A and B are shown apart, each in its own frame.
Chain A
Amino acid sequence: MDVKVSRRQFFKITAGGMAGSSLAMLGYAPNALAGVRSFKLARTTEHRSTCPYCSVSCGMIMYTLGDKSKNVKPAIIHVEGDPDHPVNRGTLCPKGAGVLDMIHSPNRVKFPEVRAPGSNEWKRISWEEAINRIAKHMKDDRDKNFIEKNAAGTTVNRWNTLGFLASSAASNESGYIGVKTMRSMGVVALDTQARI
């Protein structure tokens, strides 16, 4: 018996249940099946990561597509639980399993923007302009409100008219740099999500 089955027909048949699976078992798989499409992760690079949501901190493997050539922007195309991780052992919860959609959210902020006083819209600006304007604001306020000594004459080097909130979603390294720089400027009003 010469049975020719196209890939589409094959899936129709297998969807039919027993009959289909018996056909496949008998060797009547479509000739082209193996060559139709390669495994989608075959050309990705794997990176180990940690789920950003709760503090179970499940191990994740990020699969990135893109060969690092100049005009290629690598993109994360798949995320899986890390089976080697002692805590989550490859599992992810409904939050973590959807993390790819957070990474690729249409609501990602992509460029520095400013909203002028009284305005109803954002205006895109360059990083250079953003940093210059922010630093100028900060220096003006610091120079105006910095308290060098208290009433008793003790040097207190305090700048308490600027507040800083550090992210609990940021790395230890970002947190350390945030604290180091802010404290050097005299900031005492700093806090983080741990408070709440």
Chain B
Amino acid sequence: MTNNWVDIKNTDLVLIMGGNAAEAHPCGFKWVTEAMQQRKAKLIVVDPRFTRSAAVADTYAPVRVGADIAFLGGVINYLLANNKFHEEYVKAYTDATFLTKEGFNFDNGVFSGYDDAKRTYNRATWGYQLGEDGFVKVDDAMQDARCVFQQMKKHYSRYTPELVEQVAGTPKDAFLKIAQQIGETSAPNKVMTILYALGWTQHTVGSQNIRTMAMIQLLLGNMGRPGGGVNALRGHANVQGITDMCAYSDTLPGYLGAPLDGDVDRAAYLKRLTGKPLRPNQMAFTQNFPKWHTSLMKAWWGDAANKDNDFAFEYLPKKDAAYDILHMFELMHQGKMHGFVCQGFNPLAALPNKKKLSAALAKLKFLVVADPLETETSEFWKNFGPLNDVDPKTIQTEVFRLPTTTFAEESGSFTNSSRVLQWKEKAADAPGEGKADSEIMARIFVKMREMYRKDGGKAPEPIVNLSWPYQVAEAPSPAEILREYSGRALVDLMTLPNPKDPTAKPTVAVPAGQLSSFAQLRDDGTTACGNWLYCGSWSPAGNLTARRDNSDPSGLGVYPNWGYSWPANRRILYNRAAADTKGNHWDATRKYLSWNGKTWSGVDVPDMRPTAAPEENVGPFIMNPEGVARLHAIGMADGPFPEHYEPFETPLGVNPLHPNNPKAVSNPAARVYKGDMETFGKAAEFPYAATTYRLTEHHHFWTKHAHSNAVTQPAPFIEIGDDLAKEKGFKNGQMVKVRSNRGEVRAALVVTKRMKGLKVNGKTVHTVGIPIHWGFKGVTQNGYLANALTPYVGDANSQTPEFKAFLVNIEKA
């Protein structure tokens, strides 16, 4: 979330799309009802299903699964065509005035630079025109045909209300009513918030779904403001924290780009990732990259990382390919991955195409599953009849299953979706011999280090030299670890030379010990910090994540002394944009941050150099080298402007926006593995759109192990609308078989009025709903894993699998 849960109460309009907060995030959703009651805010829900969020909304409209960009592109077109955008904000805080390169274009569904054979873009023609001074050229009047504003206007002019209805199935009147309501928040004293979740991410255009919304929020001037923002609700208590720790291949802790095969040395690596301003006076905060990275290396390798050895840069593994989870299972499937350590994760249920996953796991030499519960993954080799029809004798994988603690059985911090770290205390021991994940990883590491010390082996140095200062080597305490990633000065840090007074004697700027801010980090090896974003969470004042002061002096839900919010305890990101270009509040009911003539001050930590006067025009989006937010985003794999593409399994067979280009039916830049294209079904055989979803009584695949949840939702089911049931002659409660081109699921049928056939591109498209929570382990009734049906393809940027839009047929079982 750019904002936070309680901040939702500050809004005038809530849009819930790509999520279902009332059922999936009930205790957060009450801040929506708070806004509705106290501020008279309105709630809009756009969803393929009439969810319980929709049930309490002021306005509901249906949208076909996988057609969100058609809808949102229509909103952008409406805003631009009807002059419903926040002009001062757009001109000053976005790249709308920037000139795009002459070679950039969009033709028949693909952007310039497309390589058909590789399914990727060469992005050389995307991005901005640079002047001789190295800065981006701009047209402040936004009239130049090459400026981002005009390019964007042209791109979305095709997304008329009629096209929205044709592609997304949303009736034109309903669409226009919503677009008009959204447009009202372009007024400087009105703010809208958007809440989304997996309903937007689990598509092959997932990242672009969210970007389209971000563009709308920028056009409306709603970013960085109380009651605004783009808010990902997110699915696990610490999914944010583990993302920030960067337990994935692309980055190191704190989103530092991971070294690549081509980074020949530290200098080349730092050069690639260190930003420099693209406009005058911009902070371009990634200029500090060398400080963050060097401090990480000191935290990991201590004295073994020093100036003489490039701070141990060679120790870091260099990545030669994508190693996201779909790629991992692809490698496994090809027999190229031999070992797999699976911590608190149930990939056999959580990834797409169970058949492929099961075959992949069976090719492993060894699998280690560390989990508090008996997951399906840990027993993938066991026969459970039709629910898991395998022959153990033929599966040669050696499987280790290790018992772990649950959240209640260890101390430590979780980071919620508002970026707030909160410390929790151990309340009991785990049953049996369960151990914390940190202890398990430490034991494996210590054992391997011992073997490398004793027996040698390949490249032992990064292992034997890893800094391991914990009191009990096999069980580092959570407090020790938090202090390590929060960071410390290894020596007294002296003031840096002052160019205005070169003779000034250096004094101690920061004494050795815990640091209070990432601003204190250095690139000379005198600071160590395992995650710069979390720097200061354990400051000289102690463990700030454990703070429990719930006072809220401003009344705006800031709670500055509750836990610790990264970065720098800031509760709303980009909050410089909460004030106008002169530094005054946009509106009197939400006074957040303003310029007092000398500094930025307000109720939150300013997201701006405190002394940057408004006339210096330092942009609020300090992480971007241009200082402003991007409407034209060069960093995307599939285009600088989002475009509607059909799901890989499309009920239409064509992209109505580009009916004559077979290459632009589905996302041209999404990665498809050899053999997977053939597993995608066609509408002739699988005529119904399908989507997976979650129930309010269950959480993914955990709560099927809990008695009370099993009582409230004991058995799997399939949901369809009463119009389809009537057409097929199906009755509520009868057993049905749902088939995709990859597998089948059998369950009882629930017929509701919540899903209706939508008229799309001249035909009626019905949707089949598939709740995901059952499997072959649990105290609920057993059921088929829903991913028997889903396609093995992910978003072009994030590789998030397309669980929300695919094709099935439904028959009597």
Cβ of A94 and Cβ of B696 under 8 Å apart? yes
* Segment at the B interface, from A6-14, A18-26, A29-37, A70-78: A70-78
Residues in chain A near residue B395, CB distance under 8 A: 117-118
Chain B nearest CB, measured from A176 CB (Å)? 5
- Chain A residues closer than 8 Å to B398, beta-carbon distance: 114-117, 137
Contact A109 B404 (CB under 8 A): yes
Cα separation A84 to B445 with both chains bound (whole Å): 39
B241 interfacial by beta-carbon distance below 8 Å: yes
User: Are B318's CB and A158's CB within 8 A?
Assistant: yes
A106 and B779 contacting across the interface, CB-CB below 8 Å: yes
A130–B336 Cα gap in the complex (Å)? 24
- Pick from A55, A66, A164, A194: contact of B341, CB under 8 Å: A164
- Say whether B426 faces chain A, with CB atoms less than 8 Å apart: yes
Q: Do residues A87 and B238 form an inter-chain contact, with CB atoms below 8 A?
A: no
**What CA separation (Å) do A57 and B436 show in the bound complex?**
20
Q: Of A74, A109, A150, A156, which is in contact with the most chain B CB atoms at under 10 Å from its CB?
A: A109
**Contact across chains for A138 and B550 when beta carbons are under 8 A apart:** no
Contact A195 B800, beta carbon cutoff 8 Å: yes
Size class of the A contact interface (CB-based, 8 Å): 35 or more
The reply on A38 being an interface residue by CB < 8 A is no
Residue A157 contacts which of B315, B374, B425 (CB distance < 8 angstroms)? B315
Q: Are B699 and A115 in contact (CB under 8 A)?
A: no
B438 touches A174 (CB 8 A): yes
Determine whether the beta carbon of B345 is less than 8 Å from that of A165. yes
B295-321: CB near A (< 8 Å → 1, else 0) gives 000001000000000000011111111
Contact in complex: A101, B707 (CB < 8 Å): yes
CA distance A53 to B342 in the complex (A): 19
In the assembled complex, the CB of B50 is this many whole angstroms from the nearest CB of chain A, namely 20
CA distance A101 to B401 in the complex (A): 22
Most buried by B among A109, A143, A152, A174: A174
Given A102-B705, A109-B404, A168-B236, A163-B431 contact (CB < 8 Å): no
**Are the CB atoms of B242 and A193 closer together than 8 Å?**
yes
Q: Which residues of A contact B400 (CB under 8 A)?
A: 112-114, 130, 133-134
Q: Which residue among A53, A94, A116, A167 has the maximum number of chain B CB atoms within 10 Å of its CB?
A: A167
A8 to B411, CA, bound (A): 44
Report yes or no: A111 in contact with B550, Cβ–Cβ below 8 A.
Answer: no
Say yes or no for B812: interface residue by CB 8 A criterion: no
Q: Is B314 touching A155 in the complex (CB atoms < 8 A)? A: yes
Determine if A69 is an interface residue (Cβ-Cβ < 8 Å).
no
Residue in chain B with minimal CB distance to A187: B317
| Bound-state Cα–Cα, A116 to B429, Å | 29
- Contact check, B447 vs A172: say whether CB atoms are below 8 A apart: no
Smallest Cβ distance from A79 to chain B, in angstroms? 8
Given A108-B432, A143-B458, A166-B343, does the pair A132, B27 have CB atoms closer than 8 Å?
Answer: no
- Whether A127 pairs with B458 at a CB distance below 8 angstroms is no
Pick the interface stretch among B139-147, B322-330, B626-634. Answer: B322-330
Q: Which of B218-226, B475-483, B581-589 contacts A (4 or more CB under 8 A)?
A: B475-483
Assess the A95–B403 pair: CB atoms within 8 A. Answer: no
Task: Kindly identify, within residues 139 to 196 of chain A, every residue whose CB is under 8 Å from any CB belonging to chain B.
Answer: 139, 141-143, 145-146, 148, 150, 152, 154-196
Chain A residues contacting B614 (CB-CB under 8 Å) are none
- Which residues of B are found within 8 Å of A118, using beta-carbon distances? 392-396
Once bound together, how far apart are the Cα atoms of A111 and B432, in whole Å? Answer: 6
Q: How many A-B residue pairs have CB under 8 A?
A: 492
**Which residues of the other chain, B, contact A162 by a CB distance below 8 angstroms?**
337-341
Mask of B206-217 contacts with A, CB within 8 angstroms, 1/0: 000000000000
Is B112 interfacial (CB-CB < 8 Å)? no
**B778 and A175 within 8 A (CB):** no
Given A107-B777, A171-B478, A179-B253, also A139-B452 (CB < 8 A): yes
Tell me what chain A mostly uses at the interface: helix, strand, loop, or mixed.
Answer: mixed
- Cα separation A182 to B343 with both chains bound (whole Å): 13
- Is B508's beta carbon under 8 Å from chain A? no
Contact, CB under 8 Å: B27 / A161: no
Query: Known contacts A114-B399, A171-B478, A192-B248: does B407 contact A52 (CB below 8 Å)?
Result: yes
Bound CA–CA A91/B431 (angstroms): 27
Nearest chain B CB to A98's CB is how many angstroms away? 4
CA distance A86 to B560 in the complex (A): 11
Contacts of A135 in B (CB 8 A): 444, 447-448, 451
CA distance A17 to B431 in the complex (A): 44
- Chain A residues near B196 (CB-CB < 8 A): none
A5 interface residue, CB < 8 Å from B? no
Please tell me if the beta carbons of B323 and A172 are within 8 angstroms of each other in the complex: no
B575 interfacial contact with A, CB 8 Å: no
Which of B202, B238, B244, B366: most chain A Cβ within 10 A?
Answer: B238
| B703 part of interface (Cβ distance < 8 Å) | yes
Q: Tell me which residues across on chain B come within 8 A of A130, comparing CB atoms.
A: 400, 402
Q: B548 on the interface (CB 8 Å rule)?
A: yes
Task: Select A112's contact among B342, B396, B402, beta carbons within 8 Å.
Answer: B402
- The interface residues of chain B lying within 8 Å CB-to-CB of A93 are 26-27, 696
Q: A54: CB under 8 A from chain B?
A: yes
The interface residues of chain B lying within 8 Å CB-to-CB of A179 are 245-247, 252-253
A117 to chain B, nearest CB (A): 4
B417 touches A94 (CB 8 A): no
Interface residues of B in 637-669 (CB under 8 A from A): none
Does B373 lie within 8 Å of A54, measured CB to CB? no
Task: Decide if B427 touches A62 in the complex (CB within 8 Å).
Answer: yes
* B410 contact set on A, CB distance < 8 A: 171, 174
Select A51's contact among B237, B341, B347, beta carbons within 8 Å: B237
Chain A nearest Cβ from B44, distance in angstroms: 21
Q: Do the beta carbons of A50 and B407 come within 8 Å of each other?
A: yes
| Pairs of residues from A and B, 4 with the lowest C-beta to C-beta distance, nearest first | A167-B344, A110-B432, A171-B412, A166-B247
7 CB < 8 A contacts A-B: A55-B417, A56-B417, A92-B27, A133-B400, A165-B345, A170-B238, A176-B531
Given contacts A92-B27, A110-B431, A171-B407, 12 further A-B contacts (CB under 8 A): A127-B433, A130-B400, A134-B368, A141-B339, A148-B458, A167-B242, A168-B235, A169-B238, A170-B437, A171-B437, A186-B459, A193-B239
Q: Which residues of A contact B (CB under 8 A)?
A: 45, 47-59, 62, 64, 66, 73-76, 81, 84-88, 91-99, 101-103, 105-120, 122, 127, 130-139, 141-143, 145-146, 148, 150, 152, 154-196
